[in-house]
Chain A
Amino acid sequence: MATAVAAASSRVAQPAKRSAGGAAWRWLREHLVVIYATLALLYMFLPIFIVVMFSFNNPAGRYNFTWQGFTTKNWTNVCGVPGMCESVTLSLKIGVLSTILATLLGTLIAFAIVRHRFYGRAATNMLIFLPMATPEVVMGSSLLALFINMNVSLGFTTILVAHILFNISFVVVTVKARLQGLDPRLEQAAMDLYANEWQTFRRVTLPLVFPGILAAALLAFSLSFDDFIITNFNAGSQTVTFPMFVWGAAQRGIPAQINVIGTLMFTIALVVTLAATLAGRRRAHR
């Protein structure tokens, strides 16, 4: 008994004499992960910083790679570049349309998967997973192969079809996650309290799943707006979305207004997401 106690105390860390250098070293070791993480975050924001900074650049030549001087004229004359604002509008249109349709289709699938039993479950899961696992080059080129073989002319519609396609899987995954967290007893309670199936869905299920559907829609929109590779394969020569415009610009000449759009995209998305996050936190802690 006594030996056990003695042995235990010998294992207890003895804070022996430490020099000042040792204390600094210890602080570093304890906070190593946090320091590393901060550096990683800074690294991730570095290009954004460049994007924002160079939106105020006054480029000398066609390319916006070296800092010449500060100007706000890129911001005041955003649509001065021919074709750029039209491409942004087109991307927005496609984004909204593909989001609405993909969210609708994907939400229906998510409900079926989570709330119902049916044959072919494994095949359905595979069919939803595969598009997410397929490289964009393959998906884009396969759609192109289809359109070529069917003699479909490439343009707005083919882009829209492609965007809805790759968004469905992401919507399913997002809504499914939210739906699985929903206690089915809430719906039972609603039915117990005289709500029929439709009323239960409308008054209990839908409001509670809605954050997931909204998140899925936002995800789908950003994936659609930012998509380049698949769009490139299926747009044909006439239709130009914003990413395609940037691609073309990289060969022709990069106007600084591209950075303006990039900065705007970043700022809007960041504000929306931060607001939603903080609002959610406040609601939970009230």
Chain B
Amino acid sequence: MPEALQDLRLVRLTKRFGTVAAVDDIELTIPGGSFFALLGPSGCGKTTTLRMVAGLEEPTAGAILIGEQDISRHKPYKRPVNTVFQNYALFPHLDVFENVAFGLRRRGVRNVKQQVDEMLELVELSGYGPRKPGQLSGGQQQRVALARALINRPQVLLLDEPLGALDLKLRRQMQLELKRIQVEVGLTFVHVTHDQEEAMTMADSIAVMNAGHIEQLGSPTDLYDNPSTVFVANFLGQSNLVRAAVTGVDGDNLLLNVHGNRVVVPRARSRAEGTEVLLGVRPEKLHLTPVSGDATATANTFTGTVVDTSFIGVSTQYVVRTAWGQEVTAFAQNDGKSALVPPGDEVVLSWHAEHGFCLDASEDVTAGVVIDDEADVRPTAGARS
């Protein structure tokens, strides 16, 4: 039965390299016993933050606290924190048993063998004790790295993109494994990743980081359904972002004018102030119906022409050019109820009011668009307006 775990707090934590602030004055409280993800693109400062918590980087300013204890200036070997490194960093000259036992031995613990055997069983590597890291597969090495860190029952376990080197299928498997282990062991896990799907699958709460600061903090559903910045809207999944003018307020709702179309958005889902906003709707929330069919003639609709149709199997992805020339994306689930709409057809796009959100119009509409070799290019709809 794990004792009551204390929260990890980052207080005004800053790390500067020369004039560049890799981590800029961030504030964060991670509840003890939770699975927390630090999500962001490469270079956003998430790894630097992790290393500062581990003690491998010294903060320029700010404090790191576990409970009430300030560990900011403590050496790594004095912190109740352990790390699972990105490339595993297993000691090549020691076998698996000694790798896992390393931390215990340094602390002078007695019944090493029993604890190591139990831990190897937990990560499903019983009997691998005598082998050397060089003889293991990537997935096995990863589990040894995990065992090596976990066995010390740290207050906080840090994971630095530990699944990055694994192939897709193995990664999915390990994501579930890690979550299961965390629940079973009950420790605080802080997981750094650039893969938003991974973060949403595993984490209880996520902090999205960008350029050294935190864009938004919350549960996966909070972040996904109600993003507070363009970056989060684009980085998690995809968003269609459209410029809109605020025309008035009606009770709990905000009334918008989108190029002549009437749009209603709940005020609780608007982060913007001012007369101009960015209206956001996720592609899977857009219903696509051919013009000739029965379209709901309510607010929150606009018409357009299908420019591209991609049948993916699970769904069909449509690119639709609206009446005012902007291209938006809509996902239609392949539920067998409706036929494919070919390019060239006129369609009506509609969504429920509670699925829309408003963001500050002064933000860069392309922020958070992920373009890298491994992921797909996900353009934001607003970019071409």
Chain A residues at the B interface, C-beta cutoff of 8 Å: 183, 185-186, 188-196, 199, 203-204, 207-208, 284, 286
- Count chain B residues whose beta carbon lies closer than 8 angstroms to a beta carbon of A: 25
Known A190-B102, A191-B55: A196·B75 in contact at CB below 8 Å: yes
Interface of A is mostly: helix
Task: Provide the residues of chain A in CB contact with B85, threshold 8 Å.
Answer: 185, 188-189
Contact partner of B92 (CB less than 8 A), chosen from A192, A194, A196, A208, is A208
Task: Provide the residues of chain A in CB contact with B55, threshold 8 Å.
Answer: 191-192
Chain B residues at the A interface, C-beta cutoff of 8 Å: 54-56, 75-77, 81-83, 85, 87, 89, 91-93, 102-103, 106-107, 132, 134-135, 148-149, 152
Q: Smallest Cβ distance from A204 to chain B, in angstroms? A: 6
Cβ–Cβ contact A192 & B87, under 8 A: no
Task: Provide the residues of chain A in CB contact with B134, threshold 8 Å.
Answer: 284
B91, B107, B152 interface centre (most CB from chain A within 10 Å): B91
Q: Smallest Cβ distance from A144 to chain B, in angstroms? A: 45
Task: Provide the residues of chain A in CB contact with B91, threshold 8 Å.
Answer: 186, 189-190, 204
Task: Provide the residues of chain A in CB contact with B83, threshold 8 Å.
Answer: 189, 192
Contact partner of A192 (CB less than 8 A), chosen from B76, B107, B132, is B76
B54, B77, B107 interface centre (most CB from chain A within 10 Å): B77
Q: Smallest Cβ distance from B96 to chain A, in angstroms? A: 14
Q: Smallest Cβ distance from B212 to chain A, in angstroms? A: 22
Cβ–Cβ contact B75 & A192, under 8 A: no
B54, B102, B135, B152 interface centre (most CB from chain A within 10 Å): B102
Task: Provide the residues of chain A in CB contact with B89, threshold 8 Å.
Answer: 183, 185-186, 188-189
CA distance A41 to B135 in the complex (A): 36
Cβ–Cβ contact B106 & A193, under 8 A: yes
CA distance A272 to B3 in the complex (A): 56
CA distance A196 to B149 in the complex (A): 16
Residue of B nearest to A185 (CB): B89
Cβ–Cβ contact A192 & B106, under 8 A: no
7 residue pairs from A and B, CB less than 8 Å apart: A185-B85, A189-B85, A192-B56, A194-B106, A195-B102, A203-B102, A204-B91
Q: Smallest Cβ distance from A168 to chain B, in angstroms? A: 27
Residue of A nearest to B56 (CB): A188
Task: Provide the residues of chain A in CB contact with B76, threshold 8 Å.
Answer: 188, 191-192
CA distance A172 to B380 in the complex (A): 55
Cβ–Cβ contact A199 & B106, under 8 A: yes
Cβ–Cβ contact B82 & A193, under 8 A: yes
Residue of A nearest to B134 (CB): A284
Q: Smallest Cβ distance from A232 to chain B, in angstroms? A: 43
In the complex, besides A185-B85, A196-B75, 12 extra interface pairs with C-beta distance below 8 angstroms are: A186-B89, A188-B85, A189-B91, A190-B91, A192-B54, A192-B55, A193-B103, A193-B152, A194-B152, A195-B106, A199-B106, A207-B93
CA distance A191 to B81 in the complex (A): 11
Task: Provide the residues of chain B in CB contact with A186, threshold 8 Å.
Answer: 89, 91-92
Task: Provide the residues of chain B in CB contact with A195, threshold 8 Å.
Answer: 77, 102, 106
Task: Provide the residues of chain A in CB contact with B92, threshold 8 Å.
Answer: 186, 208
CA distance A215 to B135 in the complex (A): 25
Task: Provide the residues of chain A in CB contact with B77, threshold 8 Å.
Answer: 191-196
Cβ–Cβ contact B93 & A192, under 8 A: no
Residue of A nearest to B57 (CB): A188
Residue of B nearest to A186 (CB): B89
Cβ–Cβ contact A192 & B82, under 8 A: yes
Q: Smallest Cβ distance from A164 to chain B, in angstroms? A: 30
Q: Smallest Cβ distance from B132 to chain A, in angstroms? A: 8
Q: Smallest Cβ distance from A200 to chain B, in angstroms? A: 8
Cβ–Cβ contact B75 & A191, under 8 A: yes
Task: Provide the residues of chain B in CB contact with A207, threshold 8 Å.
Answer: 93
A193, A199, A286 interface centre (most CB from chain B within 10 Å): A193
Residue of A nearest to B86 (CB): A185
CA distance A195 to B92 in the complex (A): 17
CA distance A194 to B76 in the complex (A): 7
Cβ–Cβ contact B56 & A193, under 8 A: no
Task: Provide the residues of chain B in CB contact with A191, threshold 8 Å.
Answer: 55-56, 75-77
Cβ–Cβ contact B87 & A194, under 8 A: no
CA distance A158 to B93 in the complex (A): 40
CA distance A190 to B103 in the complex (A): 8
Q: Smallest Cβ distance from B371 to chain A, in angstroms? A: 29
Q: Smallest Cβ distance from A185 to chain B, in angstroms? A: 5
CA distance A117 to B148 in the complex (A): 31
CA distance A192 to B152 in the complex (A): 11
Residue of A nearest to B87 (CB): A185
List the 6 closest pairs (A to B, CB-CB), nearest first: A193-B103, A189-B89, A194-B106, A191-B76, A185-B89, A194-B77
Residue of B nearest to A204 (CB): B91
Q: Smallest Cβ distance from A237 to chain B, in angstroms? A: 50
Known A185-B85, A189-B83, A204-B91: A194·B107 in contact at CB below 8 Å: yes
